[in-house]
């Protein structure tokens, strides 16, 4: 037992030293930035370089869903696997009876309830704005979805979890919305490839803008309004999937152990 | 002139935040700590908006509204836990 | 020169406090007996590592001009893009951290479900007692 | 009919928050904001509001404006100066008590308006609301009286008058 | 040659700066109040000072000030609108939050009302 | 010169935030009342959010605030309310 702890500590110190050795150059930031970052910053929205640009002023979303899109796809897969593993653990612990009673004595006082009634639409509006403007201003699918997921959480806490069920927000519906989001992400990822197949041209999976040897791509602008090709669709579907997945997880977590 | 005033006021806000942090860390009951965190957050909102004016970066203002909304969530979590002992009821 | 030195020193104070956070959360994960405390320490650990990544992407002020977030807000001409790339911070670590935060929340949810199952099985979440009950 | 009107009002609120948070009003923002507002309005139509006709009366908006100006300039300043004096005074003169203050309004929004106004002036905080006895329990930093009716005159008379005109 | 617009701009600028300075000092006073008041129920009042004069008023002040700052360009309307709506949201949310906390603490008997003249809600918690 | 001063003040605020977050983490690890530990962790999260703001990462602030201040304390409090509140002493 003692030996294990000591080994752990020594390993910890050694790995910390290793990390610091690699990070020596970065200990204090400099006014310069790495060349890769310069490439991203210059090409992210630059109509003068049509074969490199993503047509999105937001460099972070451009990296997340275009330059490194495949990484994000598999990270999304990890996220959903963790969620599904959690739900599988709680499978036998909850049951969604069609609840008949409308809880009036559950939850917090009437003041908090009224304030929550006004602010929940505001929360969803703010979240939708964050998600749908992900390619223009800071934000994106993950941020918008996580923001929207706070609204059902606050409603569950202030009213009751049964209130959400009487409002017909059940886990089946949330599962449906989440699946729509996932299928949307998958279809968007291969959309340009399918268009290329139909047109008989060369096109890649996870392609967004036309490239030099693959002249297919979704439009960067519609009627003078930037939508940045696939980024808009990715943000929309990711927002739906994240919000629905978290809402489902909260409802199950609250219902667990309340078999009546 | 305006920029110097903004900088000075932001230093005052930082001092207030540091003073409130002492209460948030030591406060005898849970309620004191949550109240101190509330006040810290509201001071932080002003600090953030002040600095987004100071940096001349309007998009940094976006983060103020979520901060104000979520700290309310923390309030009602703790309130419900203390009141009912069960967050789903 | 002195201003430069003081700035470097303050940034390294930030870095060392993050390092201490890292060590403390590692200690919490390995040596605290309670499951919930382990989950709290795990979230702190992932937050600290994310902050390291963001810190690597930061850049110092250039002659008294602040850096900008990596979002282009002007019309894209060569001049504005050059100015933008001279001042904006590195977007790559931010893009990597973005997904890490959401995955961290999903993993925390999984651990919470796991803790509830553990409590139903053993009646306690103290790891020493769980080990004793099993053996 | 009322459902559609409720939905319209909630959608208007959502749309306003969306546009102001976005900070621009291009065609893209207007279209997406309209769609989001419709969806949110359909979801929250019978949660947020019960009687939408009240929102459309201009008399209530006039009283709301008058109340806001009065509240921010007179009531807040007096209460703040009072409490700040107590904090900075070396002897710190406080004699707090939890007093009972009755109210006489009907709707949830009116109750919430009164309670928020009382809590937002330093020196008085609503601790508990009893809907059967129609009274607030208020923690008062300088309890001048323990009688419910007199305390009502000190604390919540003005708020109640305006709140009845705005929300009831 | 001073036009009416210039005078309005000057007034907005000074009112905004005044509100911001007021907010800074109110926030400091509320922090001092947190240290001087020894009881949870008294600290509720210090929180209110930090919320209204310390946060809502300076946000409105920033919104007035940023309209007059020409070197922010067209985006100054964005800062003005965003900070104004933040002030409104805080004005709604802050009292609900502190009411919820006060009610929960009183119901769960975590803190006693101290010093106390009378407690009409629960006699046992007084003193 | 005033730009240099502003730079130093920003770095000073960042250093102060880092030190305060370290204290919060230490107390969160050490505290035996788990509800208080969750509150300390929320305090640390809000300091980190301000830190991300000063490190010029508004995207991360927007995703980190709902997750770490809005959702994680709620989820952990649900776990605590369903199981147990106090961590037993090290010695027993």
What single-letter DSSP state applies at residue E56?
Answer: I
Q: In terms of Cα–Cα distance, which of C13, C9, C110, C100 is closest to C54?
A: C100
Q: Is the CB of D35 inside 8 Å of chain A's CB atoms? A: no
The DSSP bridge partners found for residue C126 are C34
Q: In A, which residues are within 8 Å of B77 by CB distance?
A: 157
Return the number of other C-beta atoms located less than 10 Å from residue F38's C-beta: 28
In degrees, rounded to 5, the angle at the alpha carbon of residue C130 between the alpha carbons of residues C129 and C134 is: 115
Please state the three-class secondary structure of chain A as a single string.
Answer: CHHHHHHHHHHHHHHHHHHHHHHHHHCCCCCCCCHHHHHHHHHCCCCCCCCCCCCCCEHHHHHHHHHCHHHHHHHHHHHHHHHHHHHHHCCCCCCCCCCCCCCCCCCCCHHHHHHHHHHHHHHHHHHHHHHHCCCCCCCCHHHHHHHHHHHHHHHHHHCCHHHHHHCCCCHHHHHHHHHHHHHHHHHHHHHHHHHHHHHCCCCCCCCCCCCCCCCCCCCCEECCEECCCHHHHHHHHHHHHHHHHHHHHHHHHHHCCCCC
pLDDT of residue C42: 92
Average pLDDT over residues A163-174: 80
Q: What single string gives the DSSP state of each residue in E30-51?
A: HHHHHHH--SHHHHHHHHHHHH
- Asked if F55 lies within 8 A of C11 by C-beta distance, the reply is no
**Cα separation of C21 and C29, whole Å?**
12
Residue D77 near residue D136, CB atoms below 8 Å: no
Find, among A142, F43, F13, C3, the residue nearest to B55 by Cα. Answer: F13
Domain range for A157: 60-259
On chain F, the residues whose CB falls within 8 A of the CB of B25 are: 23-24, 27, 40, 43
- F–E touching, 3+ CB–CB pairs within 8 Å: no
Chain D's closest residue to A166, CA to CA, is D47
Q: Name which of B65, B69, B77 is nearest A157 (Cβ-Cβ).
A: B77
Query: Where are chain B's structural domains?
Result: 2-84
CB atoms within 10 A of CB D168: 13
| Domain assignments of chain C as residue spans, ordered by start | 2-134
Name the pairing type of β-strands D97-102 and D135-140: antiparallel
pLDDT band at A96 (very low <50, low <70, confident <90, very high): low
* Contact at CB, A60 and C11, closer than 8 angstroms: no
Read off the pLDDT of residues D82-92 as tens digits, 9 standing for 90 and up. 888 888 888 87
What residues in chain B have their Cβ under 8 A from chain C's Cβ atoms? 55, 57-60
Q: Measured between beta carbons, which residues in chain D are less than 8 angstroms from residue B58?
A: 23
Q: Is E108 exposed, middle or buried (0-12, 13-18, 19+ CB in 10 A)?
A: middle
Instruction: Using CA coordinates, name the residue in chain B closest to C68.
Output: B57
Chain F residue numbers with beta carbons less than 8 Å from the beta carbon of A246 are: 71
Tokens of A260: 């009546």
Least confident of A122-131, A164-173, D67-76, F15-24: A164-173
Give dist(CA E111, CA C5) in Å, integer: 49
Strands in D6-145 per DSSP E: 97-102, 124-130, 135-140
Neighbour tally for D161: CB within 10 Å: 12
pLDDT of amino acid C43? 92
Q: Which residues of chain C have pLDDT under 50?
A: none
**Are residues D17 and A223, on separate chains, in Cβ contact within 8 Å?**
no
Digit-by-digit pLDDT tens for chain F (92 residues) are 577 888 888 888 888 888 888 888 888 888 888 888 998 998 899 899 999 999 888 888 888 888 888 888 888 988 888 888 887 776 54
Does residue E115 have a cis bond before it (omega within 30 degrees)?
yes
Asked if F60 is an interface residue toward chain C (Cβ–Cβ < 8 A), one would say yes
Contact A225/D at CB under 8 A: yes
- Does the beta carbon of D27 lie under 8 angstroms from any beta carbon of chain B? no
Is residue D92 helix, strand or coil? coil
Whether A118 and E92 lie within 8 Å, measured CB to CB: yes
| Domain parsing of chain E, residue ranges | 4-125
pLDDT tier at E36 (50, 70, 90 boundaries)?
confident
Cα separation, A245 vs D7, in Å, equals: 26
Rounded to two decimals, the ipTM of the complex is 0.90
pLDDT tens profile B22-73: 888 887 888 888 888 888 888 988 988 888 888 888 888 888 888 888 888 8
Q: For residue A15, what pLDDT band results from cuts at 50, 70 and 90?
A: low
C and F: number of Cβ contacts within 8 A? 165
Is the Cα torsion angle E97, E102, E104, E105 positive or negative in sign?
Answer: positive
Identify which has the larger pLDDT, E6 or E70.
E6
Q: Which two tokens stand for residue F81?
A: 């309310």
CA distance A34 to A50: 23
Is F73's Cβ below 8 Å from some Cβ in B? yes
User: Is B45 or A167 the better-scoring residue by pLDDT?
Assistant: B45
A165 — pLDDT class (breaks 50, 70, 90):
confident
* Cβ within 8 Å of A, C 23-82: 23, 26, 30-31, 55-62, 69-73, 76, 78, 81
- Cα gap C61→C51, rounded to integer Å: 19
* Residue in B47, B67, B71 to test binding to F, most F beta-carbons within 10 Å: B67
Q: What's the CA gap between D32 and A162, in Å, rounded?
A: 32
Alpha helices in chain C (DSSP H): 2-31, 35-57, 78-87, 91-122, 127-134
pLDDT in tens, E65-97: 888 887 777 777 888 888 888 888 888 888 888
Q: Residues D93-122: pLDDT tens digits?
A: 888 888 888 888 888 888 888 888 888 888
**pLDDT score at E123:** 74
Does E29 lie at the interface with D, CB-CB under 8 angstroms?
yes
Residues of chain D with a CB closer than 8 angstroms to some CB in chain E: 17, 20-21, 23-24, 76, 80, 83-84, 87-88, 92, 94-100, 115-116, 119-123, 125-128, 137, 139, 141, 143, 146
Say if A107 falls within a structural domain. Answer: yes
**Least CB–CB distance from A139: residue in F62, F67, F75:** F62
Q: Does A177 touch chain D (CB under 8 A)?
A: no
* pLDDT at residue A40, rounded to an integer: 86
pLDDT of residue C45: 92
Per DSSP, the residues of chain F read -HHHHHHHHHHHHHHHHHHHHHHHHHHHHH-SBHHHHHHHHHHHHHHHHHHHHHTT-HHHHHHHIIIIIIIHHHHHHHHHHHS-SBPPPS--
CA dist., res. D57 & res. A143, Å (int): 38
SS3 B20: helix
Kindly determine whether residue F78 and residue A253, on different chains, have CB atoms separated by under 8 Å: yes
Q: How far apart are CA D3 and CA D6, in angstroms?
A: 5
Q: Which of C89, C8, C93 is nearest to C49 (CA)?
A: C93
Sequence spans of domains, chain D: 2-55, 58-167
Distances (CA, A) of E48 to A116, B79, C104, E56: 20, 18, 35, 11
Domain count, chain A: 1
Interface test with C, best of B4, B48, B55, B70 (most C CBs within 10 A): B55
pLDDT of residue C41: 92
Chain C CA closest to residue A90: C113
A253: closest chain B residue by CA? B88
Are A128 and D18 an interchain contact pair (Cβ–Cβ within 8 Å)? yes
* Contact (CB<8Å) A126/B66: yes
Alpha-carbon distance A151 to F74, whole Å? 12
pLDDT of the residue at F92: 47
| b/e E13-49 (16+ beta carbons within 10 angstroms → b) | beebbebbbbbbebbbbbbbbbeebebbbbbbbbbbb
* Contact assessment for residue E65 and residue E20, using Cβ atoms and an 8 Å cutoff: yes
């Amino acid at each position: 037992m003692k030996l294990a702890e000591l080994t752990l500590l020594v390993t910890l110190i050694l790995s910390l030293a290793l990390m610091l050795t690699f990070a020596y150059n970065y200990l204090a930031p400099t006014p310069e930035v790495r060349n890769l970052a310069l490439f991203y910053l210059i090409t992210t929205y630059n109509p003068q370089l049509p074969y490199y640009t993503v047509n999105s002023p937001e460099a972070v979303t451009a990296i997340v869903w275009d330059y490194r899109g495949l990484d994000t796809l598999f990270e999304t897969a990890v996220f959903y696997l963790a969620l599904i593993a959690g739900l599988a653990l709680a499978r036998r612990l909850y049951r969604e009876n069609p609840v008949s009673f409308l809880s009036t004595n559950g939850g917090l006082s009437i003041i908090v309830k009224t304030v929550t009634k006004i602010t929940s639409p505001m929360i969803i509006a703010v979240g939708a704005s964050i998600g749908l403007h992900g390619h223009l201003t800071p934000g994106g699918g993950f941020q918008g979805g996580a923001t929207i997921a706070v609204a059902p959480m606050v409603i569950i806490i202030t009213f009751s979890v049964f209130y959400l069920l009487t409002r017909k927000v059940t886990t089946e519906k949330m599962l449906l919305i989440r699946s729509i989001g996932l299928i949307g992400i998958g279809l968007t990822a291969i959309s340009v490839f399918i268009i290329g197949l139909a047109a008989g041209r060369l096109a890649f999976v996870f392609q967004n803008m036309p490239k030099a040897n693959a002249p297919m791509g979704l439009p960067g602008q519609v009627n003078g309004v930037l939508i940045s090709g696939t980024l808009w669709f990715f943000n929309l579907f990711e927002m739906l999937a994240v919000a629905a997945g978290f809402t489902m997880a909260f409802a199950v977590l609250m219902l667990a152990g309340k078999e009546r | 002139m305006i920029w110097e005033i903004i900088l000075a006021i932001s230093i005052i806000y930082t001092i207030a935040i540091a003073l409130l942090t002492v209460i948030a860390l030591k406060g005898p009951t849970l309620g004191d700590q949550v109240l101190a965190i509330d006040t810290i957050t509201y001071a932080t909102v002003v600090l953030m908006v002040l600095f987004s004016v100071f940096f001349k970066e309007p998009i940094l203002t976006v983060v103020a509204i979520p901060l104000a909304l979520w700290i309310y969530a923390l309030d009602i979590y703790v309130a419900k836990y203390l009141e009912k002992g069960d967050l789903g009821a | 020169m002195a201003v430069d030195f003081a700035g470097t020193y303050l940034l390294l104070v930030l870095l060392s406090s993050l390092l201490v956070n890292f060590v403390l959360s590692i200690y919490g994960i390995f040596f605290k007996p309670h499951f919930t405390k382990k989950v709290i320490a795990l979230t702190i650990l992932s937050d600290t590592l994310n902050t390291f990544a963001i810190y690597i992407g930061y850049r110092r002020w250039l002659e008294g001009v602040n850096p900008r977030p990596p979002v282009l807000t002007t019309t894209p001409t060569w001049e504005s893009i050059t100015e933008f790339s001279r001042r904006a911070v590195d977007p790559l670590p931010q893009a990597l951290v973005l997904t890490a935060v959401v995955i961290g929340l999903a993993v925390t949810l999984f651990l919470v479900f796991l803790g509830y199952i553990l409590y139903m099985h053993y009646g306690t979440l103290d790891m020493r007692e769980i080990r004793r009950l099993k053996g | 009919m009322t459902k559609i009107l409720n939905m319209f009002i909630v959608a208007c609120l959502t749309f306003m928050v969306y546009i102001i948070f976005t900070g621009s009003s291009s065609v893209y923002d207007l279209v997406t904001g309209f769609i989001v507002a419709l969806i949110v309005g359909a979801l929250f139509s019978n949660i947020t509001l019960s009687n939408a006709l009240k929102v459309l009366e201009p008399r209530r908006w006039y009283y709301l404006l008058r109340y806001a100006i009065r509240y921010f300039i007179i009531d807040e300043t007096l209460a703040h100066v009072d409490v700040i004096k107590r904090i900075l005074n070396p002897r710190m003169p406080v004699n707090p008590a939890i007093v009972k203050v009755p109210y006489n309004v009907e709707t949830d929004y009116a109750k919430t308006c009164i309670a928020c106004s009382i809590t937002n002036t330093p020196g008085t905080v609503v601790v508990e609301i009893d809907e059967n006895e129609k009274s607030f329990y208020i923690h008062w930093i300088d309890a001048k009286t323990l009688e419910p009716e007199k305390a009502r005159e000190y604390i919540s008379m003005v708020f109640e008058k305006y709140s009845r005109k705005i929300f009831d | 040659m001073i036009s009416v617009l210039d005078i309005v701009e000057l007034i907005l600028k000074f009112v905004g700066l005044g509100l911001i300075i007021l907010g800074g000092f109110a926030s400091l006073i509320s922090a001092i109040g947190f240290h001087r008041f020894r009881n949870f129920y008294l600290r509720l009042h210090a929180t209110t000072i930090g919320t209204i004069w310390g946060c809502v008023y300076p946000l409105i002040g920033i919104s007035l000030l940023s309209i007059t700052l020409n070197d922010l360009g067209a985006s100054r309307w964005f800062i003005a609108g965003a900070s104004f709506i933040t002030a409104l949201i805080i004005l709604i949310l802050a009292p609900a939050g502190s009411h919820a906390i006060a009610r929960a603490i009183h119901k769960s008997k975590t803190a006693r009302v101290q010093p106390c003249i009378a407690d009409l809600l629960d006699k046992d918690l007084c003193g | 010169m005033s730009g240099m001063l502003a730079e130093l003040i920003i770095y000073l605020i960042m250093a102060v935030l880092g030190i305060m977050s370290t204290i919060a983490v230490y107390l969160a690890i050490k505290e035996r009342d788990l509800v208080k530990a969750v509150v300390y962790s929320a305090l640390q999260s809000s300091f980190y959010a301000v830190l991300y703001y000063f490190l010029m990462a508004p995207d991360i602030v927007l995703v980190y605030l709902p997750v770490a201040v809005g959702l994680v304390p709620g989820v952990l409090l649900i776990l605590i309310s369903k199981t147990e509140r106090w961590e037993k002493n090290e010695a027993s």
